[in-house]
Amino acid sequence: MRKTVITETGAPSVRFIEIGSEQAGQRVDNFLIRLCKGVPKSHVYKAIRGGEVRVNKGRVTADYRLDEGDTLRIPPMRLPAPDQARVVPPAVFPIVFEDDALLVIDKPAGVAVHGGSGVSFGVIEQLRAARPDAAFLELAHRLDRETSGLLLIAKRRKALLALHDMMREGAGRKHYQALVVGDWVNDKQHLRQPLLKWLTASGERRVKVDALGKAAHTIITLKQRYGAYSLLGAELRTGRTHQIRVHLAASGHPIVGDDKYGRDEVRARFASLGFGRMFLHACRLELPHPLTGEPMVFEAELPPACTQILHHLERNS
């Protein structure tokens, strides 16, 4: 990618950037938000809507996908001064696997995967801050903020597109572990209720089982019973928002600690025991390498907080 260089000693100036192969395919809004770190997103979208952002001298919408060789015009947008404190603190996460195309980390609970919806920054922004020389770092999929476990990050555009294709076509296998309320009866069960997104009166995003929703398929296996609770394995065959959480709640077995679809009294009880998170963990990923096709299997053990609460339940069930 060839781009102009600007300094912060004077007023911001117009920049022209030529898009290279590693940037091709990105939405123009996402590209600008990453490039113009420190500029409010609202300013970026206002510039796009106002026609100040142009591609090959023409106006574009926020969802325009950049092509290799495009010339992108970026209007004057004031960036943070060079000596200003870094907005996003860099962070290092446990690495499960890394090569020149792919990074797999073990995400802790309580950390969003990206900024937005009231969160200033997430895993991807912190990784970019920790790796300022990385040419490309993009999320290949997502985990809920309170879900821990395996998270895929692409280090090359070609790898990202291949991973997205795999997710869409169901080429990979994503396995989770969840502790739920109640005595789960069947050793193996397929949950296929369609799921529909909706907004609460306060504007919060939620999901519910609804005949008008999108097809969803979760395979549940019983791992162990703990009296009034059950440890389950969950394999995603589709990737809908909050899929495991809603399927289990709709089955009468909400996940322990789930603040959207779970029970307040259960969450309070486990919090009193020192367990203050949702018990959902992405424990295993099976998929071919996005560039070589080589079969890969990644695993992440249950975090100590989860194993400790299981030991407590075992002793007291």
Positions marked catalytic: 144
CB atoms within 10 A of CB 148: 27
Are 248 and 227 within 8 A, CB to CB?
no
b/e sequence 116-136, b meaning 16+ C-beta within 10 Å? eeeeebbbbbbbbbeeeeeeb
Query: Half-sphere exposure of 226 toward its Cβ, with a 13 Å CA cutoff?
Result: 19
Distance, in Å, from the CA atom of 22 to the CA atom of 8, rounded to the nearest integer, reads: 27
For every residue of 115-148, DSSP letters joined together read SBTTBS--HHHHHHHH-TT-S--EESS---TT-E
List Cβ neighbours of 177 (8 Å cut-off, separation of 6 or more).
223, 231, 232, 233, 234, 279, 280, 281, 283, 302, 306
∠ at Cα 113 (282, 284), nearest 5°?
15
CA 46, 145, 219, 189 torsion: positive or negative?
negative
